[in-house]
Amino acid sequence: MRGGRPRFPRRAAVIVLAALLTTASACAAPAEADTSLTVREIDATLERRAAAVLARDPAGYLDALAPDARKLRAAQRTELANLADVPLESWTYEVKGEPEQDGDWATAEVELSYRIDGYDTAPVATRRTLELMRDGERWHITADRPAKGASDQLWTQGAVAVVRGAHSIVLGVGRPQEELRRVADTVDLAVPAVSDAWPGEWARRVVVLVPDSVRSMADLLGSPETSYRGIAAVTTGEAGATGERPAIADRVIVNPQAYATLGSFGQRVVLTHETTHVATRTSTSTATPVWLSEGFADWAAYRAEDRDPDLIAPDLAGAVRGGDVPDGLPVDKDFGFDGDPDKLARAYESAWMACELIASRWGQEKLTAFYAAVGAHPERDGAVEQAMDAVLGTTPEEFTADWRAYLSARLG
């Protein structure tokens, strides 16, 4: 919530001229604020605030706020209460850069990081903009809002309900408990299926967020609502984490309206697909084309399902039967949520068929090795080419030709 700070007229400096003085006195420039001291003092305030969150201590949490910031205090009291059932392992703040300071007032960019106990092997981080005022040696927060470009957090949308599964924890706002339980049960089916498809190391635990509407989902993602109206779920996270750039925890975020329109089969496929993204995150990098990451996730989701390919890929099958076989694999922009939905469907189906081809011709081990080899490449250029040569013994041109023939054979 944005909070205002009171404005006071500056007191005019009074210069007294002493007639008896025979020498002129120099006017000293005002001393610059000691930003390192300011950061340490703000850090101290935020450390007490973080400790209060973990201790579930409302008085300690509100102690960091300006005493007369009534609306902010009421809002923050509610937000802390919304977190009551969420099992937190850690909650920390870090001031980023130098605060903008004007006397006893400052604006600081702060990174909030937290982990869900038992589920997160890495933190979730979000940026906040804080406005603060100093009272003696302490800084008090007068405003706390998402930084520019940052998204909402689930607890700012309402009281968070928590449902635990064998391999999952589902956090929901404004959704029935039985709905959250069904989501957890479905994720619990997805995790073993993904582990069978992806033998690499991963936590085998998934955190799912279920907001109350597609609008709230979009707010969590910091994107327009129109981008997600027909999308049942998405996964957030950071691809290609390294020792120099630590991993960021994944979140599967469900669109409750679109997800509810699916039957049990569709819901199982969606959550297995998203769970695959969680599992493969550390092997996915900027070198990985979207057709490979999305195609592999669909392959993992459908591989144990007894469905004909033309039922899994109806849009692509219709195009192929009409003589419109794609010339090449879909490019990244074909997977944009705000484009033509039929084109988006064909992109996903084309990517699935590419991974299905690799698994059927070269085998599952080669498919996962190919995925890992592409992601391990230092850049996009040459990643697919080198991995196809080293793992599959083919070239992109040969593979594309084989893929087009495979589409005709399976869908024609």
CATH number for the domain harbouring residue 109: 3.10.450.50
Residue 239 pLDDT class (50, 70, 90 cuts): low
Bridge-based pairing of strands 138-146 and 124-135 is: antiparallel
What pLDDT does 34 receive? 61
Query: Which of these three, 93, 125, 150, is where a domain ends?
Result: 150
> Do 170 and 74 have their domain in common?
no
CB–CB of 192/205 below 8 Å? Answer: no
> Do 266 and 296 have their domain in common?
no
What pLDDT does 182 receive? 98
What pLDDT does 247 receive? 59
CB–CB of 255/349 below 8 Å? Answer: no
DSSP 165: -
> Do 133 and 96 have their domain in common?
yes
Number of separate helices (H) and strands (E) present in the chain = 14, 9
CB–CB of 30/156 below 8 Å? Answer: no
What's the whole-number mean pLDDT along residues 267-288? 96
Q: Is the pLDDT of residue 245 over 60?
A: no
Per-residue pLDDT of 304-347, as tens digits, reads: 888 999 999 999 999 999 999 999 999 999 998 777 888 999 99
Hunting for tokens 């996270």 — which residue is that?
237
Query: Which of these three, 226, 256, 282, is where a domain ends?
Result: 282
Query: Which of these three, 262, 282, 302, is where a domain ends?
Result: 282
Q: Is the pLDDT of residue 299 over 80?
A: yes
* Residue 145 C-alpha from the chain's centroid: 18
What's the whole-number mean pLDDT along residues 237-249? 57
Domain that holds residue 346: 285-412
At residue 335, φ and ψ (nearest 5 deg) are: -95, 10
CB–CB of 297/351 below 8 Å? Answer: no
Per-residue pLDDT of 142-167, as tens digits, reads: 999 999 999 999 999 999 999 999 99
**Global confidence as pTM:** 0.87
> Do 200 and 137 have their domain in common?
no
Residue 230 pLDDT class (50, 70, 90 cuts): confident
Pull the structure tokens for residue 116: 């869900």
